Structure 1
């Protein structure tokens, strides 16, 4: 029961930060999350943003829009990192962190088999959704096509988490 209470305190702390810093905090955290940096995962951040939007009668459309813009911008940064040094980076990453190699291989396989549609598919899968940007850049995928296939996947992923918080968040917090 203690661990259960701690997780509720965590979500309450996140809600307090959102109440203080608003949509700016959402943008920064989602941007960093799409850069695959450690921190608070989307499974906590985006539902919390949905809960806060529901409690404060904020526009759910605006919350989703800001999260998608942040996700796309984070993905662009990783794409560019992949484009200008991705193969070397992926090799070093795989050597330093062997547990990452299967994720890199799986993402590469999906891109090779499905092409651009693979970018969309990877956006809907945990872990792969952030790694795919580096791989797409490293294989020199067309940047604009990358964006065209990334954005709907980012939208659906973020929408699912934010809507869950918006419509069901208070039920889970009781």
Structure 2
């Protein structure tokens, strides 16, 4: 996936494309990292005179749906998945154990802060589901973290994207 293709996709399919790309990113699927997708989304919204608020809500919804999918994967088959993962990658035992301990100890705040950290934000939902964190609280704190993260990165593209493009061109 390259930036030119992504921009063409956004221009052709609008907010639906933005939703799909962000959904896939929040599900930790290969592609662009959020640090590229969100600013590009903000720039695309600005350049096409679209509503920043509407774009932000679309990305938050996409991030939340992606997080829910991973949460329910963890809730339904998390123990089995974690066992298989650790069998294949035994050196990750400490990381997984620490993640689960953090979730058990700090719960909601661990979810909120995990949404503000690269990589961690897309990895925590499966252990959260596996230990059966309360879904309503998971949703509230995930939404808040996703909102802060997406707002910050989309704002960069929306408010400073033209400046960056003029420097590059």
- For normalisation by structure 2, the TM-score amounts to 0.89
- Specify the alignment match of 2:125 in structure 1: 133
Tell me the CA shift for residue 98 of structure 1.
5.2
Tell me the CA shift for residue 22 of structure 1.
1.2
- For normalisation by structure 1, the TM-score amounts to 0.86
CA RMSD between the two structures: 1.7
Paired positions, count: 165
- Specify the alignment match of 2:135 in structure 1: 143
The whole-number CA distance in structure 2 between the counterparts of 1:42 and 1:99 is 27
Tell me if structure 2 keeps the 8 A contact 1:124–1:154: yes
In the TM superposition, 1:19-30 aligns within 5 A as 19-30=11-22
- Specify the alignment match of 1:114 in structure 2: 106
Q: Does 1:156 align with 2:148?
A: yes
The whole-number CA distance in structure 2 between the counterparts of 1:102 and 1:51 is 40
| Gapped regions of structure 1 (runs ≥ 5) | 1-9
Q: Does 1:167 align with 2:166?
A: no
The whole-number CA distance in structure 2 between the counterparts of 1:31 and 1:98 is 29
If asked which structure has higher relative contact order (CA below 8 Å, sep 6+), I would say 2
Tell me if structure 1 keeps the 8 A contact 2:100–2:131: no
Tell me if structure 2 keeps the 8 A contact 1:68–1:151: yes
The whole-number CA distance in structure 1 between the counterparts of 2:109 and 2:23 is 23
Q: Does 1:41 align with 2:36?
A: no
